[in-house]
Structure 1
Amino acid sequence: MSNRKAVVIGSGFGGLAAAIRTQAKGYDVTLLEMRDKPGGRAYVYKDKGYTYDAGPTIITVPFVLKELAQVAGKRIEDYVEIVPCDPFYRIYFQDGKVFDYRGEQQALESEIAKFSPSDVAGYRQFLEYSEKIFDRAFTDLADHSFHSFWEMIKVAPDLIRLRAEKSVYNRVSHFIKDPQLRQVFSFEPLLIGGNPLRSSAIYAMIHYLEKTWGVFFAMGGTGALVSGLVKLFEDIGGKLVLGARAEEIVVENGHVKGVRASIGSQEEDLADTARQPGYRFEASSETYFEAEIVISNGDVANTYRKLVKPEHRRKWTDPKLERMRYAMSLFVIYFGTDRTYEHLPHHSIVLGPRYEELLGDIFDRRIVAEDFSLYLHAPTRTDPSLAPPGGECFYVLSPVPNLKGGQDWADIKEDYADRILASLEKDHLVPDLRKHLVSKLIFTPQDFHDRLDAFQGSAFQFEPLLTQSAWFRPHNKSEDVEGLFFVGAGTHPGAGLPGVISSAKVLDRFIALIG
């Protein structure tokens, strides 16, 4: 075992990827997770025989998982089974129209032609544009370090040429004229916390990424992928400590020395209505983990604000972090039924009567509107073992303002949940839903704040604007503290499973191979 020690804070996908890569380099890695199970936001809840992935539920670019396992001398297929979803999404409009979003070119163009035959040619141009964005922004830059402004200057001409200053919605609208098709091909920034009306056109690459490699699901749920990566990490000698909440990143003379953590047990239960906001488990002991490298997969703003003392921070001060623009939050209902709905696909997008106006309510006015657009996840369509025989498990999420909206979620959550469930009781969705409801758990923006330590209750950390991307984002290598690094949604390249796993690869430039 190496005498060079590293500590990774947080066992989300970014933290797991960083822990595996760093252990494979020859370090003795300890992975600290404050919750009672690994996975971070990819937590798993169980209730009355139903298994709920807390999220994420969409796996794209599976080669990043294969590459991660190969770094450790392993095969990802030995740890998890990943299967494709078809269609990727089914998109439901208020007027009854339905769009099946698929990867196969002819099938996708047939769907487009049902809405607007004249937009097929425009779609082909958009696909070509999306490929160019992907080739530069993902293939070349996803694992690129923007630790200096010169790195940004070098790519600026390409970003200008690709019109990265424009929004995803703007670029889609340049090629596609039908209003509903514009929604179909611009909604995807919402999957990483972005407003399609102002998220940089860089994120138009998501379409090409999905179309080329597909949308996948891990059998056993996303939690099975977490378990597989944990086993891989432990197989190569890594150590996972659960119930370990980092309290301080210890810094001496500008360099990390270790992590002070409180160790205790925390069994989470979303059905526990007695839990108060700000809930923390009672620590049974405090432990110091010595390390020459510390990698945080925690919320970047709160890592700096809570774990690094102000005297060690010149750039990422509390006021600077508070001035950043934070992404939306989510309202999530996990629910199980005692019957199945076999007409539903695995992933559904249920669009409300408004698009641009609703996005304004969520991101700018920060109000909880009367209407909503929803993502409905039905994993038992692919893996029936996640529910009792004859049953179905779901989660439905509604994008909502983060805590800057000022809503009292404890007061409004039951009414809001009931309105969402009622809206799904249509013949083509989940008819008679509430009559067949067996299990229901609710997760609000306040839970993102309390349970996940997310600043402002944001579900995705920083909003993906051009002015908060690449060099403008908190860097993977801390500018304030030597030996401190960041992975996950709050650093480059950003949110989404491929992004957070790629963020760990960025560290290869800085963390040397030893052994």
Structure 2
Amino acid sequence: MTKLDPSLATSVRDQARPHAAVIGAGLGGLASAMRLGAMGYRVTVVDRLDVPGGRGSALWREGHRFDLGPTIVTVPQVFEDLWAACGRTFADDVDLRPLDPFYEIRWPDGSTFAARQDTEAMRAEVARLSPDDLGGYDRFLADSAARYWFGFEDLGRRPMHRFRDLLAVLPDFVRLRADRSVHAHVARRVQDPRLRMALSFHPLFIGGDPFRVTSMYILVSHLEKEFGVHYAMGGVAAIARAMADVIAGQGGLLRMGTDVDEILVRDGRAAGLRLAGGEILRADIVVSNADPGHTYDQLLRKAPRRRWTTPRLARARWSMGLFVWYFGTRGTRGMWRDAGHHTILNGPRYGDLVRDIFRRGVLADDMSLYVHRPSVTDPGVAPEGDDTFYVLSPVPHLGHDDPVDWDAMRDTYRTKVAKVLDEQLLPGFADHLGPEEVFTPTEFRDRYLSPHGAGFSIEPRILQSAWFRPHNVSEELPGLYLAGAGTHPGAGLPGVISSAEVLAKLVPHPAEVSR
């Protein structure tokens, strides 16, 4: 009897497994592919970029690594759980380093606030700025912990696609005053305007207006305190590469540099993908890690839609845009010793600047900046003796009535950012400038296919969260699932990775698909 080549037998068995096509090799797509591979699916991930990671990828310029997107890791347990689901150990593949302090906040009057994990160190910082607010800060910490256990560990890690899921949690929303904004809640606890900013700005990390986003998001303060803030050596791009390696080890395939034109529909179900060149990729299920706006408006443009129609998407509130300046400096390692790994430079306004960005759509003359200097922790990010920087300014997205013309404003705004950096943090840095790149909302629109060039997809307001957000299991097409920042539970690394955990609870087991 003719023997079958063992490798061929494996190939035949592999081809017989149900196939999952994943659109997008961002962290949500990679996490989804890992979980589907662990369940037994044969997985193909398709992405238009040339490297995995999506917004968490990196560019190299003259020996400098520019980390394009997220720069910190909170709640490492979501990655540990993801790796464990694949029979692996996260720490074997990724080197996380805790940061202390997490970041330093600076105000125009010269005052500062160093955020740390240690409770007594944080209380000392509060007392140094405003002793009368110490009791209110303690109450704020308790508020944050309560919202963490409900909003993240419960609500954020289970499906929210059925209306009865919403009804079940409404009493908790009422009890925790989810109708109140983050800033309004903080203002009830502390009086000093600097502390109000320091305790309320976190929604900006996930694209939300602190004066409009539900107070559930004060849970971020508990995340920082409970789990710390970490940096992945090699940047978040190193996590993405490790995820891609796990997928390859499961027998999955990553097809980079490939655009998806549309999601195919057959017999009323998602049936695969049509790629930009016309190639058909058949699949039993489809997962989209693309922005839900792009998924529904473009990839499902030929299919009827009931909820996420073009007019509905046009009415949605989107997160702000981002102006990000990546640059290297030569011969500066050891200079600017008070410029740590993370620094937040506040402009003279807080509330009015946020309103300019989110509501008025105005590019203001003043700004607040987030400055990332990873070379403090990770020497490999730059040539020896050099530094690498990432400077981010929140700006309006492109969907306002009179959008910013970034072709005309790019250099002008960069000059304004440089002036703030020179005056407040990095004196003389322009004399040391090396390679640089600038991303504006235009790049977010064109590179990541983000509607309106928004930095974080749909804004996490209360009526755009949980059940009100695009669901992890599509309401429009059976067999289609969504992961990433624009779906439940939301943006930020913990939310994006958790979206894949929720999705895995909704996807049928491969044995059910093959029947």
Q: Under a length normalisation based on structure 2, what TM-score does the superposition of the two structures give?
A: 0.94
Runs of 4+ in 1 over 6 A off after TM superposition: none
Deviations 1:157-185 (A, max 9, x none): 00110000000000011111111000000
Q: Secondary structure at the match of 2:20?
A: strand
Q: Secondary structure at the match of 1:303?
A: helix
Alignment counterpart, residue 70 of structure 1, candidates 64, 84, 99: 84
Q: Secondary structure at the match of 1:211?
A: helix
Compare 101-110 and 338-347 and name the one that shifted more.
338-347
Q: How does 1:31-110 map to 2 (within 5 A)?
A: 31-110=45-124
Decide whether the 8 Å contact of 2:398 with 2:453 is kept in 1: yes
Partner Cα separation in structure 1 for residue 486 and residue 301 of structure 2: 19
Partner Cα separation in structure 2 for residue 141 and residue 234 of structure 1: 32
Pairing 1:5–2:5 present:
no
User: What is the aligned-residue identity percentage?
Assistant: 43
- Which amino acid in the other structure matches residue 377 of structure 1? H
The Cα shift of 1:97 comes to 0.6
Alignment counterpart, residue 172 of structure 2, candidates 158, 177, 187: 158
Decide whether the 8 Å contact of 2:32 with 2:504 is kept in 1: no
Match of 1:268 in 2: none
Alignment counterpart, residue 442 of structure 1, candidates 438, 446, 461: 438
Partner Cα separation in structure 2 for residue 255 and residue 359 of structure 1: 42
Deviations 1:191-230 (A, max 9, x none): 0000101110011100001111010011011111111111
Decide whether the 8 Å contact of 1:494 with 1:500 is kept in 2: yes
Partner Cα separation in structure 2 for residue 388 and residue 244 of structure 1: 32
Q: Which runs of 5+ in 2 are unaligned?
A: 1-13
The Cα shift of 1:385 comes to 1.2
Decide whether the 8 Å contact of 1:476 with 1:485 is kept in 2: yes
Pairing 1:180–2:177 present:
no
The Cα shift of 1:468 comes to 0.4
- Which amino acid in the other structure matches residue 103 of structure 2? Y
- Which amino acid in the other structure matches residue 314 of structure 2? E
Match of 2:206 in 1: 192
Match of 2:312 in 1: 320
The Cα shift of 1:384 comes to 1.1
Pairing 1:509–2:501 present:
no
- Which amino acid in the other structure matches residue 84 of structure 1? P
Deviations 1:427-460 (A, max 9, x none): x611101111112210000111111100011111
The Cα shift of 1:310 comes to 4.2
- Which amino acid in the other structure matches residue 190 of structure 1? L
Deviations 1:353-385 (A, max 9, x none): 000010010001101000000100000010011
Decide whether the 8 Å contact of 1:329 with 1:402 is kept in 2: yes
Compare 417-426 and 479-488 and name the one that shifted more.
417-426
Decide whether the 8 Å contact of 2:72 with 2:232 is kept in 1: no
Partner Cα separation in structure 2 for residue 154 and residue 245 of structure 1: 40
Partner Cα separation in structure 2 for residue 26 and residue 127 of structure 1: 42
The Cα shift of 1:511 comes to 1.4
Alignment counterpart, residue 293 of structure 2, candidates 285, 298, 301: 301
Decide whether the 8 Å contact of 1:337 with 1:392 is kept in 2: yes
Partner Cα separation in structure 1 for residue 165 and residue 133 of structure 2: 38
Decide whether the 8 Å contact of 2:17 with 2:40 is kept in 1: no
Pairing 1:415–2:407 present:
no
Q: How does 1:138-149 map to 2 (within 5 A)?
A: 138-149=152-163
Alignment counterpart, residue 258 of structure 2, candidates 244, 253, 256: 244
Pairing 1:424–2:421 present:
yes
Q: Secondary structure at the match of 1:146?
A: coil
Partner Cα separation in structure 2 for residue 78 and residue 230 of structure 1: 15
Alignment counterpart, residue 398 of structure 2, candidates 397, 403, 415: 403
Q: Under a length normalisation based on structure 1, what TM-score does the superposition of the two structures give?
A: 0.94
Q: Secondary structure at the match of 2:212?
A: coil
Partner Cα separation in structure 1 for residue 79 and residue 64 of structure 2: 27
Evaluate the alpha carbon distance shift between residue 250 and residue 514 of structure 1 in structure 2; reply closer, same or farther with a 3 A threshold. closer
- Which amino acid in the other structure matches residue 218 of structure 1? A
Deviations 1:468-497 (A, max 9, x none): 000111111001100000000100000000
Pairing 1:205–2:219 present:
yes
Alignment counterpart, residue 482 of structure 1, candidates 478, 482, 496: 478
Partner Cα separation in structure 2 for residue 363 and residue 46 of structure 1: 32
Partner Cα separation in structure 1 for residue 234 and residue 303 of structure 2: 46
Alignment counterpart, residue 132 of structure 2, candidates 103, 118, 123: 118
Q: Secondary structure at the match of 2:200?
A: coil
The Cα shift of 1:236 comes to 1.5
Deviations 1:18-39 (A, max 9, x none): 0000011000000011111111
Partner Cα separation in structure 1 for residue 462 and residue 235 of structure 2: 33
Decide whether the 8 Å contact of 1:42 with 1:226 is kept in 2: yes
Q: Secondary structure at the match of 1:244?
A: coil
Q: Which runs of 5+ in 1 are unaligned?
A: 263-284
Decide whether the 8 Å contact of 1:312 with 1:481 is kept in 2: no
Structure with the higher fraction of residues in helix conformation: 2
RMSD: 1.0
Match of 1:373 in 2: 368
Partner Cα separation in structure 2 for residue 352 and residue 251 of structure 1: 50
- Which amino acid in the other structure matches residue 167 of structure 1? S
Q: How does 1:202-351 map to 2 (within 5 A)?
A: 202-262=216-276, 285-338=277-330, 339-340=332-333, 341-351=336-346
Pairing 1:452–2:420 present:
no
Deviations 1:371-422 (A, max 9, x none): 0001000000100111011100010000000002411101110110111011
Match of 1:358 in 2: 353
Q: Secondary structure at the match of 1:258?
A: strand
Pairing 1:496–2:488 present:
no
Q: Secondary structure at the match of 1:424?
A: helix
Q: Secondary structure at the match of 1:333?
A: strand
- Which amino acid in the other structure matches residue 310 of structure 2? D
Partner Cα separation in structure 2 for residue 392 and residue 309 of structure 1: 45
Compare 38-47 and 152-161 and name the one that shifted more.
38-47
